[in-house]
Chains A and B, each alone.
Chain A
Amino acid sequence: AQSVTQLDSQVPVFEEAPVELRCNYSSSVSVYLFWYVQYPNQGLQLLLKYLSGSTLVKGINGFEAEFNKSQTSFHLRKPSVHISDTAEYFCAVRDNYGQNFVFGPGTRLSVLP
């Protein structure tokens, strides 16, 4: 079984500052990794995903994430945030054979003016 940890439940950051949202996972098999964003009163939207290959993946809205197998991490970064990035961010894993997506508890990113 897989599990996902997002250590920071809330991250406040000033506009135009860089941000990193942390994600660690545990699994006994190879996994695929995802970051989703949820804006208020909306569904989840995919930001980016890691399937294989280059460990640095780029997504929408200027976000990127780096897969680190030895540290079982998949941290999300953005060099300069905007007010509009204020949302809940979820890290998720899916194993090679399973159909299920296991989500972390989420990180609330608040961008301050």
Chain B
Amino acid sequence: DTAVSQTPKYLVTQMGNDKSIKCEQNLGHDTMYWYKQDSKKFLKIMFSYNNKELIINETVPNRFSPKSPDKAHLNLHINSLELGDSAVYFCASSPQNTYGNTEAFFGQGTRLTVV
């Protein structure tokens, strides 16, 4: 059973299109994240949700909109795709812990290529 699963694994699309990436975790975690990994492998937090509520919203273009229908799902919708959006997007989850002493579990990533 995959703990954190993302779909699709690969996504090739044209500039200007709108696309969504789905993420589901079956670990019972309260917190979910979206990270962007650029071509230099640098990982940057985009969003974090805790029990369906947005708690971290880094400086990300408002073309990116996360949606959490329930605490097991966190989807990422991207409008008007641009070439610079090409990257690998990772979903992750972790248990909510006031003291932060738990690790994050990552999905396999979605490689988005905008042409």
Contacts and interface: CB of A to CB of B under 8 A. Distances in A.
A106 B90 CA distance: 16
B55 A106 contact: no
Interface of A: 32, 34, 36, 38, 41-46, 49, 51-52, 88, 90, 94-103, 105-106, 108
Contacts of A100: 33, 45, 48, 56
Interface size class of B (residues with CB under 8 A): 20 to 34
Contacts of B104: 44, 101
A16 to B, nearest CB: 26
Contacts, number: 64
Contacts of B44: 103
Nearest to B49: A99
B45 A42 contact: no
A90 B56 contact: no
B56 A99 contact: yes
Given A105-B40, A106-B41, A99 B100 contact: yes
Contacts of A52: 101
A32 B100 contact: yes
Interface stretch (B11-19, B62-70, B74-82, B105-113): B105-113
B42 A99 contact: no
Chain B at the A interface: SS class: strand
A90 B44 CA distance: 12
Nearest to A51: B101
B106 A106 contact: no
A103 B98 CA distance: 20
B103 interface: yes
Contact of B100 (A41, A45, A90, A95): A95
Contacts of A42: 108-109
A94 B31 CA distance: 14
B98 A101 contact: no
Nearest to B97: A99
A44 B56 contact: no
B7 interface: no
Contacts of A106: 41-43
